Amino acid sequence: MRVFICEHNWEAMLSCIYDAWSSKLGHQNIRLCTSAPEQYSLLDEYVTVSFDRGKAESVMDAVNLKISPQVYSEIAYAAMSSEEDALDTIYRVLILGFAYGPNVLKMVSYKDVARFFEIRRSVGNEAHHFIEFVRFHEIRKSLYVAHIEPKNHIVGALGAHFNDRMPSENWMIIDDVHKESIVQPKDEDFYFKKLSDDEFTRLLCTEEENDEYTDLWKVFFDSIAISERFNPKLQRNLFPIWKRKHAVEFK
Amino acid sequence: MYEISQDLSLDKKLEILSDAAKYDVACTSSGSDRRGQKGMLGNSCAAGICHSFAADGRCISLLKILMTNHCVYDCKYCKNRRSNDIERATFTPREICTLTTEFYKRNYIEGLFLSSGVIESPDYTMEKMCETLRLLRTEYRFNGYIHIKAIPGASSELINSAGLLADRISINMELPTEESLSVLAPNKSVKSIITPMSAITEGIASHRLAIGKDARMERAVINDRLSDTIFSDGRRQNGRIGADNRTEGIKDGKIIESINSAILSNNVKSGGIFLPADPKDTSLKRPFAPAGQSTQMIIGASGESDFDIMSTAQTLYKGLDLKRVFYSAYIPINDDSALPSLETPVPLLREHRLYQADFLLRYYGFKVGELLSEEKPNFEVGVDPKCDWALRHLEDFPVEINKASYDTLIRVPGIGPTSVKRIMSARRYGHVNFAMLKKMGVVLKRAQFFITCDGRMMGNIPIEEKFILNRLTDVDRKTAYDIQNPDNSVQMNLFNDFGLSAGTA
Ligand code: SF4
């Protein structure tokens, strides 16, 4: 078995798909992944693929033209997953896609397509979770920064929502786990940015800045609960403790 | 009463005025779909977004506050009533705007829920509230969700202004009969509530017609599949909300009569009526309360039966096209001879049963008359209203999953709108069996007593009321206990029961 390994970013993944495809080893004899295995096997051969614009673009075009733009955006979305088999599953779905066309995502009885949807759904759920529970902190006059710690690389999936919500503010969302961010300058388009260690350390402490509205929010949060209906278990079911890390009302 | 000077700090005001607003149940931000815009702050998402959950487990989606808790009225059940000696405060319009926009930018909330005690007069209060919303929509360029509570007795012009500034308007019915209103809310009358309510209904319908939509609000899609629901008359009529939507013959309570007569008198007027609103608000070019109208009734402060309450709710859905009716278990805060004593437990289970019944009206095609009657005016404690109905109609069961219609399937306990849809689409490709039902989200521990798959039941079950009742109450007992005693148990979530996502309104 030959294992193709690449970095976890979309262009590198596309390049990796290109190399795997053109290796002509037979689909059953290869595997793709975005992280080095915990334990190398002597029977497998490992190849590291790095980003190559030409290769990435040709996969991009092939998927868009020969399958469909919808399928392309679905796989790009699912690629934000941190699941170990995410890239490999995408590869398998593409094999089916090139054979059967744009209906590939309806073929849920195929195990790769079913797995693809599981991955897609868990990315979607996590993105939705942060749409609800991201908390921005004003660090300087009219500059809002939020920190999140997601399992998947979903910070990119939050851009469109918050851009629509506040297009005319300066804000950024930082993924502390993967050191990725989404940045929106006032009245401009938002963009994705990988953070350098230096940038990351400087941004790490924004939650310590004093923001008077955090305190007001806590006042509101406490007084809006009806004590006669006190129900911490329900609260915990709906908002589990592990999800509360950056929710300032619980600090 | 304390006379509070206006230099109370902002956090103190926020504490007082959110505490005073917390008994209002509606906090959903759903029903409006609006994209953001450059230069503005905010959008609105039809499904609604929750941003946190308070210690009572209720979702926080909106900044829920009163403009002031001063009140010239003396509703017996209310903490803010004139005769109570409590701390009072009033927000300035700018304070409300700043709190809303600053909270919004931090992603704490989806918008504002603004209610108020009555200062000077209903019109004066409503005018102040509109002024605040106008400032928020214009100078503060706020484009997120706003729910405004209209003041009973306020004029139609002001109601119309409020409708143009907000996404949802509501007026609390509070009590389902004239009698208890006159005892518990002596300054309010059925007329002072129903008149603005029907003005809102008119405003919404007119604006919907003007932009080419059906006059009546959208309802859950499942209703289009069912042959006869509380919404179907209005659909077929596809036009004005009229006399045909009166609820007849279920109950001769005064409120229902007055709703009916309000509908009739509106129907006499012809065509789309636009009430003259403040031209400033008309020029904002906003749709009129796109998320519709809602109301709330207090449960357990007065002697009404579940039948009274649900009949009123159905009349409001049918007659005035309300989007939602909320039920709020009475929490004894005032010691008053007209009210239940302070030790009375909060009727959480009863509230839960009413919500379940409300879902049956809005998603299952049930009508109140099928669930309750003069002879059986209250829901069972032990089983939910749908099981209760099924147990009284055992002659209709079991139903064959592979043959039954939408109307029949939706009435099977343990089967909800989503699973009906899945069953129907799976049937096109082959036969459905019990294992598949389980995957589709059917709750077999309830449904098993009422269904067959290809002629066979899941176990050897006698179709016998007593037997099934015992089995079902076993299923329900823990849940029922948990709901009434939230402190020491995990409360079931209503939305889980029905397989619906939270925030559905
Ligand atoms: S009008 Fe009645 S319910 Fe409303 S604040 Fe005043 S006393 Fe309370």
Tens digit of each residue's pLDDT (9 = 90 or more) over B483-502: 777 765 333 444 444 444 43
For A189, nearest residue in chain B (alpha carbons)? B38
How many residues belong to chain B?
A: 505
Q: Is the ipTM of this complex over 0.85?
A: yes
Say if residue B395's pLDDT is above 70: yes
Q: Which residue carries 């170990």 as its tokens?
A: A84
| Ligand 1 lined by B80 (C-beta under 6 Å) | yes
**Which whole number is the average pLDDT over B22-35?**
82
Per-residue pLDDT band at A251 (split at 50, 70, 90): confident
A164 contact residues in B (CB cutoff 8 A): 35-36, 43
Q: If you ran DSSP here, which 8-state letter would residue B62 be given? A: E
A135 contact residues in B (CB cutoff 8 A): 106-108
Q: Is B377:B306 a contact under the CB 8 Å cutoff?
A: yes
Is A146 at the interface with chain B, CB within 8 A? yes
Closest chain B C-alpha to A6 CA, distance in angstroms: 35
Q: Is B49:B12 a contact under the CB 8 Å cutoff?
A: no
Per-residue pLDDT band at B268 (split at 50, 70, 90): very low
Q: Is A199:A214 a contact under the CB 8 Å cutoff?
A: no
Per-residue pLDDT band at A242 (split at 50, 70, 90): confident
Residue A47 main-chain phi, psi, to 5 deg? -125, 130
CA distances for B40 relative to A163, A191, B29, B49, angstroms? 11, 20, 18, 19
The distance between the two most distant Cα atoms of chain A, rounded to a whole number of Å, is 68
Q: Which residue has the higher pLDDT, B426 or B245?
A: B426
Q: How far apart are CA B25 and CA B348, in angstroms?
A: 13
For A249, nearest residue in chain B (alpha carbons)? B52
Q: Which residue carries 């993967």 as its tokens?
A: A178
Q: Where are the alpha helices (DSSP H) in B59-187?
A: 93-105, 122-137, 156-165, 178-184
CA angle B17, A231, B75 (to 5 degrees): 40
Of A76-85, A168-177, B215-224, B325-334, give the lowest mean pLDDT range: B215-224
| Ligand 1 lined by B78 (C-beta under 6 Å) | yes
| Ligand 1 lined by B150 (C-beta under 6 Å) | no
Q: Is B59:B503 a contact under the CB 8 Å cutoff?
A: yes
Mean pLDDT of chain A: 92
CB atoms within 10 A of CB A196: 10
| Ligand 1 lined by B193 (C-beta under 6 Å) | no
HEC secondary structure over chain A: CEEEECCCCHHHHHHHHHHHHHCCCCHHHEEEECCCCCCCCCCCEEEECCCCHHHHHHHHHHHHHHHCHHHHHHHHHHCCCCCCCHHHHHHHHHHHHHHHHHHHHHCCCCHHHHHHHHHHHHHHHHHHHHHHHCCCEEEECCEEEEEECCCCCCHHHHHHHHHHHCCCCEEEEEECCCCEEEEECCCCCCEEEECCHHHHHHHHHHHHCCCHHHHHHHHHHHHCCCHHHCCHHHHHHHCCHHHCCCCHHHC
Q: How far apart are CA B295 and CA B25, in angstroms?
A: 10
For chain B, the structural domain boundaries read 1-169, 171-238+249-379, 385-482
Per-residue pLDDT band at B244 (split at 50, 70, 90): very low
> What pLDDT is attached to residue B382?
83
* Nearest residue (CA) to ligand 1, atom 7: B81
Say if residue B236's pLDDT is above 60: no
Distance (angstroms) between ligand 1 centre and the Cα of A15 equals 66
Nearest of B444, B426, B420 to residue B434 by alpha carbon: B444
Q: How many interchain CB pairs under 8 A, A with B?
A: 152
Say yes or no for a CB contact (<8 Å) between B52 and A249. Answer: yes
Say if residue A248's pLDDT is above 80: yes
> Chain B neighbours among A 190-229 (CB < 8 Å)?
211, 213-217, 219-229
Q: What is the share, in percent, of chain B residues with pLDDT greater than 70?
A: 85
Say yes or no for a CB contact (<8 Å) between A220 and B490. Answer: no
For A136, nearest residue in chain B (alpha carbons)? B106
Q: Give me the residue from A164, A221, A234 closest to B491, CB to CB.
A: A234
Q: How far apart are CA A226 and CA B55, in angstroms?
A: 8
For B346-384, what is each residue's pLDDT tens digit?
Answer: 899 999 999 999 999 999 999 999 999 999 999 988 888
